[in-house]
């Protein structure tokens, strides 16, 4: 009641000064419009100067397309301009079939960075990793190149070899030759792990919900006594929002899955589950890691908030924004991919930059545990210089030794420690009831500083109560 009263008073006060306010608004709008036209005129002058005076001939369309892409990518890492060719490539990818290597990439400060290789693709088999930088394709530098232009170099007829020059943290630059294949992005795979079903979702394309539903029905039909389900969303770079909602809906009886909110605080769109849990309510664990992004985080966040599943693994990527594809002249002039909203989990969490933290933190290897301990963050949304801000007061988890890691002697190439712990949680009934392993002894990195003059050979000790500082390693310089 008090809220309505305050609104009424505000309306009265605005009404008292309406004439002055409207005049100011009109004046501001005219001023803003005049400034926009002046800047557009400036843009035209620059294009003309380049066309007339640059050392060699330039293609005007290419010049303008690059300027459009630069304008949009300056807003945030996920907004960009798509040429007609790039728009067709994106449609092929969301339909689930195209000729290429199987990589999800982005651009950061003019450098092409890999978000994730897709399961079973040539890039995945070649050992390409999330966070790698691509510096050249077939000896042609891609530094400063737009994502769409870099994609053009990598996609093409199946059977042809493509050589990628890769820069990776803590490794010498190297080349890897990969043969293109027809990438049929079957986004769902399933199998039994003892008494428990295992459902792997590697991306969210147009067929994901349909494939996931069929896989769950197959698991149940072949294994009537299935005691639980592991949903694996590790290294899932995301995809279509409606598919994330659809997959979440397979496991929920009702209630909110996700909401998205645009610039206007009143512009809220909510997505709710329909009645019917396809699994029949069997216990669930969801596997996530720092490569679980966007649509994958929507699913993980919904199932965690709704107490339908517990999460095992590592803090997710932290992409909490929604992009809208806006075709230009029906797609004849390409399209713009524009960030138009943030999404929120059912409890009202925005995970932008911070990610979703698991209920049981488990590193996949001792090497991974050490990496988490001595760098500020693994490759994540927070890595981007111009990422959208996080909710006020929220920050991504700082360097730390993760709660669990494999014991000495465990071979991550032949075993899956995170999956093992997920099955332990199902076997024990919950994360709380699962016996915990000894915390790994990952060593925090120390900042090298000045040493005391009196004892130059002795290492400097931190002051009482002050932990050793940690800093991320330098970025590779492609």
DSSP secondary structure, 129-143, as one string: -TT-EEEEETTEE-T
How many Cα atoms sit within 13 Å of 42 on the Cβ side? 6
pLDDT score for 106: 82
Contact 76, 321 (CB under 8 A): yes
Contact 351, 318 (CB under 8 A): yes
Helix axes 147-154, 84-95, angle to 10 degrees: 60
> What's the rounded mean pLDDT across residues 90-105?
79
Express each pLDDT in 271-284 by its tens digit: 999 999 999 999 99
Rounded to an integer, what distance in angstroms lies between the CA atom of residue 122 and that of residue 297?
25
Express each pLDDT in 31-80 by its tens digit: 667 888 888 899 999 999 999 999 999 998 989 999 999 999 999 999 99
Please choose, from the candidates 322, 202, 351, the residue with its C-alpha nearest in 3D space to the C-alpha of residue 262: 322
Question: Which residues neighbour 88 within 8 Å (Cβ) at sequence distance 6 or greater?
Answer: none
Rounded to an integer, what distance in angstroms lies between the CA atom of residue 398 and that of residue 465?
17
Contact 115, 237 (CB under 8 A): yes
pLDDT score for 406: 94
Does the structure show a pLDDT above 90 at 322?
yes
Q: Who has greater pLDDT, 117 or 217?
A: 217
Range ranked top by mean pLDDT from 79-88, 285-294, 410-419: 285-294
Strand partners, 80: 337
What is this structure's pTM? 0.74
Q: Who has greater pLDDT, 430 or 449?
A: 430
Express each pLDDT in 298-320 by its tens digit: 999 999 999 999 999 999 999 99
> What's the rounded mean pLDDT across residues 97-102?
83
Question: Which residues neighbour 361 within 8 Å (Cβ) at sequence distance 6 or greater?
Answer: 313, 314, 315, 402, 403, 404
Phi and psi dihedrals of 211, rounded to 5?
Answer: -65, -40
pLDDT score for 28: 54
Contact 448, 474 (CB under 8 A): no
- How far separated are the first and last CA of the chain, in Å rounded? 61
Domains belonging to the chain, first-starting first, are 31-50+57-74 (no CATH), 97-183 (2.30.42.10), 186-428 (3.90.226.10)
User: With left for phi above 0 and alpha for psi between -120 and 50, is residue 380 left, alpha or beta?
Assistant: beta
Structure tokens at 37: 């036209």
Q: Who has greater pLDDT, 23 or 148?
A: 148
**Number of neighbours of residue 166 by Cβ within 10 angstroms:** 21
Output Rg (C-alpha) for the chain, integer angstroms: 25
Rounded to an integer, what distance in angstroms lies between the CA atom of residue 396 and that of residue 230?
26
Please choose, from the candidates 298, 291, 226, the residue with its C-alpha nearest in 3D space to the C-alpha of residue 260: 298
Hey, which residues are catalytic here? 294, 305, 319
Average pLDDT over the chain, rounded to an integer:
84
Phi and psi dihedrals of 191, rounded to 5?
Answer: -165, 175
Does the structure show a pLDDT above 60 at 8?
no
pLDDT score for 444: 59
Phi and psi dihedrals of 439, rounded to 5?
Answer: -65, 135
Rounded to an integer, what distance in angstroms lies between the CA atom of residue 37 and that of residue 60?
20
Rounded to an integer, what distance in angstroms lies between the CA atom of residue 93 and that of residue 398?
35
**Number of neighbours of residue 59 by Cβ within 10 angstroms:** 10
**Number of neighbours of residue 277 by Cβ within 10 angstroms:** 17
Q: Is 281 helix (H, G, I), strand (E, B) or coil?
A: coil
Does the structure show a pLDDT above 90 at 1?
no
Cα 417 → chain centroid: 23
Q: Is 214 helix (H, G, I), strand (E, B) or coil?
A: helix
Does the structure show a pLDDT above 90 at 110?
no
**Which range is least confidently modeled, 83-92, 367-376, 432-441?**
367-376
> What's the rounded mean pLDDT across residues 134-151?
90
How do 103-108 and 111-117 pair as beta strands? antiparallel
Rounded to an integer, what distance in angstroms lies between the CA atom of residue 128 and that of residue 113?
11
pLDDT score for 298: 98
Contact 354, 395 (CB under 8 A): yes
């Amino acid at each position: 009641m008090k809220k309505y009263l305050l609104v009424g008073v505000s309306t009265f006060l605005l009404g008292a000064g309406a004439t002055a306010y409207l005049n100011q608004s009109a004046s501001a709008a005219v001023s803003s419009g005049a400034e926009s036209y002046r800047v557009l005129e400036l843009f035209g002058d620059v294009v003309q100067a380049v066309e007339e005076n640059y050392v060699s001939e330039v293609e005007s369309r290419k010049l303008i397309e690059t300027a459009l892409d630069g304008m949009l990518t300056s807003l945030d890492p996920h907004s960009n301009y798509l040429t007609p060719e790039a728009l067709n490539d994106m449609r092929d990818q969301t339909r689930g079939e195209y000729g290429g290597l199987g990589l999800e990439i982005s651009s950061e400060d003019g450098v092409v960075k890999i978000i994730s290789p897709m399961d079973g693709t040539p890039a995945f088999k070649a050992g390409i990793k999330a966070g790698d930088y691509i510096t050249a394709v077939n000896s042609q530098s891609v530094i400063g190149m737009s994502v769409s232009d870099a994609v053009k170099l990598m996609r093409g007829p199946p059977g042809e070899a493509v050589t990628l020059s890769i820069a990776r943290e803590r490794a010498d630059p190297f080349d890897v030759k990969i043969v293109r294949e027809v990438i049929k992005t079957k986004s769902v795979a399933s199998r039994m792990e003892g008494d428990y079903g295992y459902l792997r979702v590697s991306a969210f394309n147009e067929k994901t919900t349909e494939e996931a539903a069929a896989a769950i029905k197959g698991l149940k039909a072949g294994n009537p006594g299935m005691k639980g389900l592991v949903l694996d969303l590790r290294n899932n770079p995301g995809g279509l929002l409606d598919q994330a909602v659809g997959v979440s809906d397979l496991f929920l009886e009702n209630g909110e899955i996700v909401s998205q909110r645009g610039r206007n605080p009143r512009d809220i769109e909510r997505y709710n589950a329909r009645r019917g849990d396809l699994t029949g309510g069997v216990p669930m664990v969801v596997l996530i890691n720092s490569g679980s992004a966007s649509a994958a985080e929507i699913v993980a966040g919904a199932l965690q908030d709704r107490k339908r599943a517990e999460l095992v693994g590592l803090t997710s990527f932290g992409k909490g924004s929604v992009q809208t594809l806006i075709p230009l002249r029906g797609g004849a002039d390409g399209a713009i991919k524009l960030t138009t909203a943030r999404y929120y989990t059912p409890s009202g969490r925005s995970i932008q930059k911070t990610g979703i933290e698991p209920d049981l933190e488990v590193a996949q290897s001792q090497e991974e545990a050490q990496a988490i301990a001595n760098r500020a963050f693994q490759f994540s949304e927070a890595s981007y210089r111009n990422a959208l801000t996080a909710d006020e007061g929220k920050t991504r988890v700082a360097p730390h030794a993760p709660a669990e890691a494999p014991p000495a002697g465990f071979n991550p190439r032949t075993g899956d420690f995170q999956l093992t712990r997920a099955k332990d949680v199902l076997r024990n009934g919950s994360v709380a009831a699962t016996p915990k392993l000894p915390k790994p002894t990952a060593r925090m990195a120390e900042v090298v500083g000045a040493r005391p003059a009196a004892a130059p050979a002795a290492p400097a000790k931190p002051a009482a109560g002050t932990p050793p500082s940690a800093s991320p390693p330098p970025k590779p310089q492609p």
